[in-house]
Amino acid sequence: MYPYPYAVTNRVGISEIPVTAVNVTTTEVTLNLPNHSFYGKPYKGYFTLKLNTAIPTGTTPTLPLNLEANGTSVPLMLLGGTQATVAALGIPGTGAVLVYYDKETNLLQLVGPQA
C-alpha cells in the first residue's frame, strides 16, 4: 500500500488551466485561474498554464507573478526559490508554459529555463 498522500503524478496526463484575466498593479501581476482549477487533481504534478489573456504592453518586467484561484493568491516561483517575474513569461506573454505544483506546500513553479 502506498503512503498517503500517494506519490503518483499526472495519472491522467497533463491538464491545461487557462488564465481568465490578468490584473496588473504597481506591485505585482496576478494571473487569474478559474475557480476549482485544482479540484480532483493529484497532490503533486504538472499542468499547462494557457495564457489566453496577454500581459499588457508597458507592464514593468520586474513585477512578481502570482496565480489566483478561489480568492487565494500564490506566488509563481522559479527554480532556486525566487519568485517569477513578468520577464519570465515575456510581454505580451501569450501561449502555454509548464508548471509544477505541490498542493501540500502550495508550490507553483515554472518548469525549464526562463528568459
**For residues 103, 106, 110 and 115, what is the CA-based torsion angle, rounded to 10 degrees?**
180
State pLDDT tens for residues 74-91.
Answer: 999 998 889 999 998 877
* Residue numbers of the domain that contains 28: 15-110
Is 5 within a domain?
Answer: no
In this structure, which amino acid lies at residue 2? Y
Is 83 within a domain?
Answer: yes
Is 6 within a domain?
Answer: no
**d(Cα 37, Cα 62) in Å, to the nearest integer?**
27
* Structural domain count, the chain: 1
Is 64 within a domain?
Answer: yes
Is 23 within a domain?
Answer: yes
Is 10 within a domain?
Answer: no
Q: Is 57 exposed, middle or buried (0-12, 13-18, 19+ CB in 10 A)?
A: exposed
Is 4 within a domain?
Answer: no
User: Is the predicted pLDDT of residue 1 greater than 50, yes or no?
Assistant: no
Mean pLDDT on 80-109: 88
Mean pLDDT on 65-73: 92
User: Is the predicted pLDDT of residue 113 greater than 70, yes or no?
Assistant: no
Predicted TM-score (pTM) of this structure:
0.83
Is 32 within a domain?
Answer: yes
State pLDDT tens for residues 36-60.
Answer: 887 777 778 888 899 888 899 899 9
Q: What percent of the chain lies above the pLDDT cut of 70?
A: 84
pLDDT band for 8, please (50, 70, 90 cuts).
low
